[in-house]
Structure 1
């Protein structure tokens, strides 16, 4: 037993108290409120009009073509919006339904590449008592299979609930003899246009007020405080001019990982969809702008107007503009609690914003949060549009290189596994080359994170610029780990793992912007994670932390408290609401870190130790999540919202959706890297059995825990295993090093050594 293990045995009580203190500190930090920019305080408005324009893009806003929206972009506040719902792009039917549900919803019509089927929306029918959406039950049935728990009609029901509360309060005041506040007579949602009917309908498919065109806008505002407008324009919809309208979306090379997956989609095949004529698009944008101008002319001073591109016109998806103006809205940027990033919102936030504008409560069925305004005195139409175009270009460029990046990483990773096997089990020949390959492969995902620092998507050839950064980063790290003073022992591991951990830690502290614009993160239009730590970057960070804990040259008591300190800092970076916000990563890293330290301290890995590690990890997860849940709903991260879903019984949908997504990753490029790692590990184990020190054992156990547990609890599934392998497998082989057999002294020949008698 080592000295450190002896200390732990003799001072078991102190160790338990220390762990309890560490657990308390971690939970307290995880419960700290997220840091957000100061938002302007907004009073309630008398009403709000939401104008939805499917297909509207930032490039459509122009001072001459769309003067009304151009002026609105400067006079009010703006942001880029992800319309991600069910699948990798959102057609109009799904967009309007999601607006009414406040949750990701899908349409009942087939979703094709040009959104042709989901663009033909029938008008509601009038039955003498009002209006109702045709085939509403078919829409409800379709969404029951998507595992998002979308409650169609939540917007209208929430406004009706506010009216019911006001009536109850008035009756109670009347009975108590107190002054009676009359209920708001306009507590309802009106719809103008066929698409708006889907958003304005209640859970039964009924609409309080509906009209086919803007001629009835005045009557709609007199009737209801929330008015949803569909001008009947889809920007980019070329109807009969659109090529290949029968192509199914799965044939585009951009299949979803799985229903409801948060994974970025795969490769784009730009050849499937021909670019549309500018004149056709301009005519549609100008028509939508004319409708916005008509609404602005009728807008009372105490009302607000929100214009949004509520859906895609066709595949592929893109970010869409949101323009917000009216009573109490200052010029600046928009943000929301669901994105946590300035200048970005989601489609489901529009639902919550409409409710918040008139003072209605946001129900638990609405996944979005009210949009907040971040005032900026330098805000202008030109700057808002330029930023929106740049953000859209960044997202599109990342998607264009992502599938190739994952494929190349997987292919090189398989080569790296083979090199690691040769380094540990092969002959002396080519061992230097094998070592270099191991280092270069481990450097690739680290270079992928660093590639987000320069704005490569602004280059004339973004793809070439990206791959130049990847190649350059790999070369620099490989050389840095091969210098005379860094190439020996575990030093190459510390160089590359240390660089990976430092890059990601600095990125999280500075605002989490680098992986957002590389395949190592999620593009904003994917609507998965606008800030914090994505699953891919987490895999690299966790593997790097495990390697640092295992191979740093700890001395004396530092061997105990050094790994604990690194582990606590790493867990805070991964799980804190104002940093990583990664609940699955928190659970994984706590368990993997404990098991790694357990072995590093000379303790045997038993079933009891595994259960203890899992219990502590779950405790950190549960306590941090519950404390997050206790905060106001608009301040909660997805960890707190998940706890809320557990308490209200809707967590099953989330778990099923994530399981579907994780299973859907099997068969994708990183699957083959994970399979190669498994085969390589078996070969190395059978031919060499390299675990001969506690340090190596700690690294093996920690990396295995990250690869396996991370794949189970994250919806990225096998991709977590693949990225962990890409960084950790080759570096671990380099740290172990080739086996050198010691020369055994020659055994003396007993006959030759016997003394001879002289005669």
Structure 2
């Protein structure tokens, strides 16, 4: 077959063999293991998990909390996301999530001050032991949340270890081999009301429970795992806290579930952010004193894990995790669930405690055992300063996110109008329209680049962020507007190339930039600490499509050039060591194939659509299955999703993601998406069918990213909005004003003809 540019595209056996080789390369890249992170393997006699709801890095002070301060320097530490159900986690939900090893919610109503979920009832004693009152209601509430949390997984996993030890002893005795006596302490004990929720098994029963820390010795004698709630919630005085009558769920902050991508920008954090006061300092000192008691009673072969297991009120924040005891070196903590040094999640505490005592981490536990990254030079001051900085960065992103999305959407609508004028209007104001298109397309690119400098450390972080955005937009717009760049698709290639290069370099170098901008996720959201988020994916995919369509390919490069770019892009998006984006992988493969087929002059029949969909699903399935074959702690979202398909829980994930995607409709980026649809209809009516293979390829590829990406990703309409923000205006700039009336168009005319009206 001959393409529209006169290049013969080999559709025969050689093309099939070449494509099979390319597919093999992609699948192999998607199956590469992530960067090696050694799991915590050393077993100890026991571990104490000490939870303090509301504990923040700013509470750890050498004079107010000397024991916590010393732990920060003598052990390992990290900042922890406590995200469970909703945009902030109250104590009841935090303790339940610790016991489930999965995101769980409380049965009590959740208000902004966590008043109801901080009032935890004591367990009930029935003569044969203790049990959590109202356990059935808690289980029922979590079934409605649809996160698949199996409450009590923590205690059941330890009990299962005891059963396995007993079975091994019986088998050894039968075989006449030396018998290893089962560990009599294979259970989970709880001290305090909150700890009862975490220590309960799936039936709501607790092996050992006591109300006061005085029973710590008895608890350690009874069980190898002890969970302690000192009865302290580190919050603020009522007159400095937000109102307790408003459930901010009604304001739409429940944007992020597991793997969801919509930052919770709707909460006015400026109004509800509490300031530290004497009440908070006294609570922190009381918790510190309890930590001192535990340290004094801690045997040499035990470990202590202190963590801020929940928020005390809205908004959420990162909380400290301090880990010390037998075999724990000084340094940072990390986990496979975050893939980033210095960050862990609440569910990782469950897996860590299980691994410490030799219990197997069940599939129902979403976390992974933490790993210590040794740093003998790390001091208490270093650890606390780093934690405060990470918390400030995360909070600063939330402070600017909603405004950023609103501004992008508002200016994006103007950009769509400018694109329509550029393509369909008269010569008047076309130069201005072109400039507006370039400026709007530069906003998300500047948003990615804004993560390079540490803008949150400025005296006025919000002002510093917007100054970076303005500077980035100005530089890109001016660079794309110089006379030499006004010919054909040069300006489009410049902006798209800068966008794709920035994101590719970021992914290869560790994916640090979007984490601290609205183009990524805040660390406290717990959705994705590394890899490629849906927003960054949207603009990256749009940029790749534009590069494939408008680069001046010649000869056989018109075939293999787009394939090479597509393979590299898919690897960046989907590889476990890089993007880790399963929805993005599916979307980009399908969009890239359709774009290339049209670029090569193929008609997009139902067969072509089936081919694109089949190949995309094939890459997704093969890469996912190979990822699933790796150890559970090394699996990415792709492998875990395959596991959920095999164990029958995938439907819960799909329903939750679909619900999250539908929930994005009506948010700021909806309006730019709607404007793009209207603008496309107007352009079609004014200019008629697309006459160039390049333009058609770009339009089809961008449309596939915008539509399919919104369907398969839980960011929903936001994917369409970001794709429009970058792609709509740049496509209009590449096409330029209509010139068909002067001379017939050729497939390559958009890449060679000068743009008039500029």
> Given the two structures, how large is their TM-score scaled by the length of structure 1?
0.96
- Could you tell me how far apart the structure 2 residues matched to 1:296 and 1:256 are? 38
Q: Is 722-731 or 629-638 further displaced after alignment?
A: 629-638
The match for 1:97 is 96
The match for 1:257 is 255
- Listed as ranges, the matches of 1:18-417 within 5 Å are 18-36=18-36, 39=38, 42-238=41-237, 242=241, 244-250=243-249, 253=251, 255-257=253-255, 261-270=260-269, 272-273=271-272, 275-417=274-416
Whether contact under 8 Å (1:5, 1:603) holds in the other structure is no
- Could you tell me how far apart the structure 1 residues matched to 2:562 and 2:447 are? 27
- Could you tell me how far apart the structure 2 residues matched to 1:351 and 1:622 are? 30
- Could you tell me how far apart the structure 1 residues matched to 2:342 and 2:544 are? 32
Larger Rg: 1
The match for 2:14 is 14
The match for 1:590 is 589
Whether contact under 8 Å (1:258, 1:660) holds in the other structure is no
Q: Is 716-725 or 372-381 further displaced after alignment?
A: 372-381
- Could you tell me how far apart the structure 1 residues matched to 2:303 and 2:713 are? 40
- The secondary structure found in structure 2 opposite 1:613 is helix
- The secondary structure found in structure 2 opposite 1:485 is helix
- Could you tell me how far apart the structure 1 residues matched to 2:681 and 2:109 are? 46
Shift of 1:180: 0.6
- The secondary structure found in structure 2 opposite 1:23 is helix
- The secondary structure found in structure 1 opposite 2:262 is coil
Q: Is 482-491 or 332-341 further displaced after alignment?
A: 482-491
Q: Deviations over 1:599-636 (max 9, x none)?
A: 00011111100110111111111111111111111111
Shift of 1:147: 1.1
> Given the two structures, how large is their TM-score scaled by the length of structure 2?
0.96
Q: Deviations over 1:85-137 (max 9, x none)?
A: 00000000000000000000000000000000000000001111000000000
Q: Deviations over 1:499-522 (max 9, x none)?
A: 000000000000000000000000
- The secondary structure found in structure 2 opposite 1:228 is strand
Q: Deviations over 1:412-431 (max 9, x none)?
A: 00000000000111111000
The match for 1:514 is 513
Q: Deviations over 1:654-701 (max 9, x none)?
A: 111100100000000000100000000000000112611110010000
* Structure 2: runs of 5 or more not aligned: 744-758
Shift of 1:259: 6.3
Q: Deviations over 1:158-215 (max 9, x none)?
A: 0000000100111111111111100000000000000000000000000000000110
RMSD across aligned C-alpha pairs, in angstroms?
Answer: 1.5
Whether contact under 8 Å (2:256, 2:525) holds in the other structure is no
Whether contact under 8 Å (1:493, 1:734) holds in the other structure is yes
Whether contact under 8 Å (1:4, 1:560) holds in the other structure is no
The match for 1:548 is 547
Q: Is 10-19 or 473-482 further displaced after alignment?
A: 10-19
Q: Deviations over 1:570-598 (max 9, x none)?
A: 00000000000000000000000000000
CA spacing shift, 1:701–1:242, aligned 2, 3 Å: closer
- The secondary structure found in structure 1 opposite 2:156 is helix
CA spacing shift, 1:523–1:433, aligned 2, 3 Å: same
The match for 1:483 is 482
Shift of 1:267: 3.0
- Could you tell me how far apart the structure 2 residues matched to 1:636 and 1:349 are? 15
The match for 2:616 is 617
- Could you tell me how far apart the structure 2 residues matched to 1:581 and 1:718 are? 21
The match for 1:530 is 529
* Structure 1: runs of 5 or more not aligned: 745-759
Whether contact under 8 Å (1:40, 1:374) holds in the other structure is no
- The secondary structure found in structure 2 opposite 1:453 is coil
Whether contact under 8 Å (1:262, 1:661) holds in the other structure is no
Shift of 1:262: 3.9
Shift of 1:487: 1.7
Shift of 1:270: 3.5
Whether contact under 8 Å (2:549, 2:694) holds in the other structure is yes
- Could you tell me how far apart the structure 2 residues matched to 1:192 and 1:497 are? 57
Whether contact under 8 Å (2:236, 2:276) holds in the other structure is no
- The secondary structure found in structure 2 opposite 1:373 is strand
Shift of 1:257: 2.6
Whether contact under 8 Å (1:696, 1:736) holds in the other structure is yes
- Could you tell me how far apart the structure 2 residues matched to 1:369 and 1:573 are? 24
CA spacing shift, 1:743–1:614, aligned 2, 3 Å: closer
CA spacing shift, 1:171–1:346, aligned 2, 3 Å: same
The match for 1:747 is none
Whether contact under 8 Å (2:85, 2:254) holds in the other structure is no
The match for 1:750 is none
Q: Deviations over 1:353-383 (max 9, x none)?
A: 0100001000010000001111112211111
The match for 1:449 is 448
- Could you tell me how far apart the structure 2 residues matched to 1:243 and 1:703 are? 43
- The secondary structure found in structure 2 opposite 1:114 is coil
CA spacing shift, 1:602–1:3, aligned 2, 3 Å: closer
Shift of 1:244: 2.1
CA spacing shift, 1:42–1:158, aligned 2, 3 Å: closer
- Listed as ranges, the matches of 1:416-427 within 5 Å are 416-427=415-426
Shift of 1:240: 8.2
- Could you tell me how far apart the structure 2 residues matched to 1:590 and 1:327 are? 48
Shift of 1:266: 1.8
Q: Deviations over 1:421-449 (max 9, x none)?
A: 00111111000000000000000000000
CA spacing shift, 1:168–1:743, aligned 2, 3 Å: closer
- Could you tell me how far apart the structure 1 residues matched to 2:595 and 2:242 are? 56
How many residues align structurally?
A: 742
CA spacing shift, 1:324–1:5, aligned 2, 3 Å: same
Whether contact under 8 Å (1:236, 1:276) holds in the other structure is no
- The secondary structure found in structure 1 opposite 2:483 is coil
- Listed as ranges, the matches of 1:703-718 within 5 Å are 703-718=702-717
Whether contact under 8 Å (2:40, 2:355) holds in the other structure is no
Whether contact under 8 Å (1:40, 1:375) holds in the other structure is no
Shift of 1:250: 3.6
Shift of 1:273: 2.6
CA spacing shift, 1:383–1:27, aligned 2, 3 Å: same
Q: Is 577-586 or 229-238 further displaced after alignment?
A: 229-238
- Could you tell me how far apart the structure 2 residues matched to 1:189 and 1:743 are? 81
- The secondary structure found in structure 2 opposite 1:594 is helix
Whether contact under 8 Å (2:419, 2:433) holds in the other structure is yes
- Could you tell me how far apart the structure 2 residues matched to 1:237 and 1:590 are? 50
- The secondary structure found in structure 2 opposite 1:324 is strand
- Could you tell me how far apart the structure 2 residues matched to 1:430 and 1:7 are? 38
CA spacing shift, 1:94–1:10, aligned 2, 3 Å: closer
Shift of 1:5: 8.4
